[in-house]
Every structure is written in structure tokens, then in C-alpha cells.
A and B are shown apart, each in its own frame.
Chain A
Amino acid sequence: MIKLTNVSKEYPNRGYALRDISLHVKKGEFAFLTGHSGSGKSTALRLVHMSDRPTGGEVRVTGYSSDRVSERELWKIRRRVGFVFQDFRLLPGRTALENISFVLECTGTPRQDIVPRTQRLLAQVGLSTKAGALVHELSGGEQQRVAIARSLANSPYVLLADEPTGNLDDRATRGVMDLFWDINAQGMAMLMATHDLELVRRYPHARVFELDNGRLVYDSAVA
């Protein structure tokens, strides 16, 4: 589902963010990507999402290769890969329902299907009663749930999350993690970047990759 083979990313004037990384996340697998701040976790996620291209090696995601995919085709990958951020990145001034239906409009879902599908997604993340709430009226945990529902709108094969619990309290973190595990149980590959090792230890069945200074220093599957 996600395969990085000898992937490097070098930025002009900033040096290597990633150096010769190889990792493989299979369908239905839940993997954590850990490491200190600046270790290259976010860069790795951006490469998987193909928001950025590697300067060396190959990234394969849901059958698309970074070597062959053109700029014009990137939208196809992005519909197969959901992305959740630490700061939620919801559109302010819009309701929870509008934030999700916006995605469906963007990807050409028939008009009559948008509202029922959005309501199903809100139900999936436990926010059926908050459909009409504006973003600022929601708690941090609720905003992250809306963001997760939005990331699921295109029925992706892979879900990427970049420090999704970084802004949440313990209770909200637990709720979001339960949600991720539920989603993963339906067969979706999950790659979540976090620096919170305490959180990682709570889920011993998950696969763990550790990055240090742009290099992969630990893979729980081969340890």
C-alpha cells in the first residue's frame, strides 16, 4: 500500500531531510512513525501524499510510483490518500457538515448524494448532533473528528496523520485514537507520525518506525 525504497529528500541550502529510507506499510496495517522534532516524519508523510517529490529513490502508494506519476495525475493519488493534521485545517466560518461536503463537491460527488454521505461520515466519527455547528463552536477533539471525517470523504485506501493528537488533551486523544483503530479495522492502511512515545507504547500491536536525523533507525517488524 505504501512502499518507500531508498528514498532521500534533499532541500537546497538545508541539506537532507530524509536519507535512504526504505519502509513498507501493508494494507490494513497500523504504523507509527516516531522520532524527535525535525527527524523527517512530516517530510516522509508529504512524500507519501506526493505533495513533494523525493530527490532519490522511489515512493509507491496505492499503485502509483513517484517515478512515473505526472503533476496532472496527482489528484488521483490524493483521492486515495486521506490526510489529518495536528492543527485540523478546517475552513473557519463553515459548519462541520460544510467542511466535509466541501470535499465531496471538490471531487465531483453527485449533488443529491452529498448531504446523506456527509451525515454518514459525521455519524462514523460520532458527531451526528454537531452537523450544523460552526468550527469555532467545536472543541479541539471534535474539530479533529471533523477533520478525520473529511479525510475519509473520498473513501481512501490509506490514511496519513501528522501529529493528530498534538493539540488534544488525554481524553480527546483517546477518542481520536479509538477512531483511527476503528477505521484501520475496516482494512485501511494507517501511517501516523507522532513524537509521543507514551502514546505509541499504549498500542503494542502497531508497527513502529523510528526516524532520527532523516534516517530510519528502527522498524519494530525487524527488531
Chain B
Amino acid sequence: MHALREALAAFRRAPVLTGLASAMVGLALFVIGLFGLATHNLQLALSEVEDRVEIPVYLRDDARRSEIDLAQMVLGDIPEVQSVRYISKAEALERAQAQLPDFSELFDNLDVNPLPQSLEVKLRPGERTQVVVEAVSAAALRYAFVEDAQYGREWVDRLFALRRIGAATTVAMGSALALVAALIIGTALRIAIFARREEIYIMRLVGATNGFIRRPFLLEGAIAGLIGGGLAWLMTWGTYRGVYAFLFELAWIPPLWIGGGLASGAAFGAIASIFAIGRHLREL
């Protein structure tokens, strides 16, 4: 109770200093917020592209219906496969006509349908990886009546390479930004602690325990971090609205990320505070 009272009193006694600490936390987390916004939208874009990853298995014209049904069943039983759909020659032509309206005249004048029948294999979300695509494609090619199982190797390879780069960048940049944020918060709190060094000295002099001395600073750090997290959220939201209104459409960060941001703001504040006050007490 005393710790909370003292922590709140610190905001009242030195509003500029504590406000500055919160603003610094806010700015540090705002940069992380912007990065999060960009990462989230990049992930969404990649997922959308990834959804289109499917394996067309082209069949010979003389393949028997019973053989096709069997292959459809066997491929459908692979755990990573979501669905296997049979596309007849007629349906393939219909689709081509719909997708390529400029060539409708050409399609209308065909004597023979040149398009092959096929099986369209869709993978489950989360299973659309290069390894799975290759394995399913190889399983289809084992059938003699399968002419080809293409999955646009180059395209898929590039997609997954992009995903790997994205993940690595997220981890590296996120860690670097988090470290910078922690350093900024630590510095801001050291300033706040320095401003109250006489108070800390007196507390020690009269026999306050280290835990008692630490607690208000810990709470102050957590509150400053939480306020900073809130500021960062507001600034990120403002930027999002601005970009959405004037530049291009994009998705807002998931609520879990926002909660995580606020919680990490408070945690950053508390942890940085523990280090800063610990160091100060050792130096006394």
C-alpha cells in the first residue's frame, strides 16, 4: 500500500520527470508498434499468397475413372492435405473461358478440348510448406496415369524464402528495438532515481529494507511503462488511421498484440527499474 502511494506520489511530485520517462517509453514502444503493424500486414499478405499454394495434378486422357477415384482417395488421406478435387476436361475448359475472356472466340471454335483433366490438391493451413508441397507432389507422380504434378517450384521457393526472411527480420529487429526500449526506459528511470537519491539515502539511513526501498520504484517503473505503452498504442493507432485514410488499406494489429505491448511496457518499466534501483543501492 505504501509502495503504491509512494509510486503515485512520485508522479505528483515530479510530473515532468515521470512524464518524460513515460514519453520515452512511449516513443520506444511506438517504434516497436510501427514495426508490429508492418510485420502483421506483411504476414497477412504472405498468408493470402500462401492460401493460393495448391498442387494441380494433371492426368492423362486415358486414365480410368476408378483409378482417378483411388488416387483422389489416397491423396486425400495424406494428413497435410485438406481436399482433393477432381476437375474434368469440360470444367477445365469452362474455367479457362471464365478466366481468359479475351480468348473466348478461340475457345468457342475448338474442335477438341486440349485441356487435361486434373486433381486439384489443397493443403491444410500451416502445412503449406515447401517440404509438404514436394512430398505430396512426389506421391501423385507415383501413379502411371499422372502426367505431371506442378506446383510452380520457383514461385513457391521464393514465397517461402520471403517468409523466412520476414521471420528472421522480425526476430532480429524486434529484439534490437526491445533492447533499445529497455535501455531508454532504464536511463529514464535512473534519472528519476537520481532525482530522489536523497530520499533513498534517508530510507537506508533509518533502516528501511532494500525490498521496501525497491517496491515504490518498481511500481513507478511499471506504471510509467504502462502509460508509455498506452501512449505508444495511441500513436500507432493514429499512424494506422492516417495511412489507412490517405495512403493504402491495411489491417490493424490483433488485440493480443496490443495487450502484449501494454504488458511488455509495464514489464519493461518494472525490470528496468529493478536494475536501476539495484545498481543505485549497490553504489550507496
**Number of B residues with CB within 8 Å of any CB on chain A:** 15
- Shortest beta-carbon distance from A85 to chain B in Å: 9
B209: A residues at CB distance < 8 A: 75
- Residues of B near A83 (CB, < 8 A) are 205
Give chain B nearest CB distance to A80 CB in angstroms: 8
In chain B, residues 46-90, which have Cβ atoms closer than 8 Å to a Cβ of chain A? Answer: none
- Which residue of B2, B198, B199, B206 contacts A153 across the interface (Cβ within 8 Å)? B206
B249 to chain A, nearest CB (A): 53
Q: Which of B13, B199, B208 has the largest number of chain A CB atoms within 10 A?
A: B208
Given A93-B13, A105-B2, A106-B212, the answer on whether A78 and B206 have CB atoms closer than 8 Å is yes
CB contacts (< 8 Å) of A150 on chain B: these are 206
Which B residues lie within 8 Å of A77 (CB)? Answer: 207
CB within 8 Å of B: which of A35-56? 49, 51
Total contacting residues, chain A, CB less than 8 A: 21
Bound CA span A195–B204, Å: 27
Q: Tell me whether A91 and B199 are in contact in the complex, defined as CB-CB below 8 angstroms, given that A105-B2, A106-B212 are known contacts.
A: yes
Instruction: Say yes or no: A89 contacts B198, CB within 8 Å.
Output: yes
Minimum CB–CB distance from B69 to chain A (whole Å) comes to 78
Chain A interface mostly:
helix
Contact B202 A102 (CB under 8 A): yes
The answer to the question of A184 belonging to the interface, with a C-beta cut-off of 8 Å to chain B, is no
Decide if A215 is an interface residue (CB 8 Å cutoff): no
Which of B13, B198, B202, B210 counts the most A-chain CB atoms under 10 A from its CB?
B202
| B206 and A89 within 8 A (CB) | no
Which A residues contact B (CB, under 8 angstroms)? 49, 51, 72, 75-79, 83, 89, 91, 93, 102-103, 105-108, 150, 153-154
21 contacts across the A-B interface (CB closer than 8 A): A51-B205, A75-B209, A77-B207, A78-B204, A78-B205, A78-B206, A78-B207, A79-B206, A89-B201, A89-B205, A91-B202, A93-B13, A102-B202, A105-B2, A106-B208, A106-B212, A107-B207, A108-B212, A150-B206, A154-B206, A154-B207
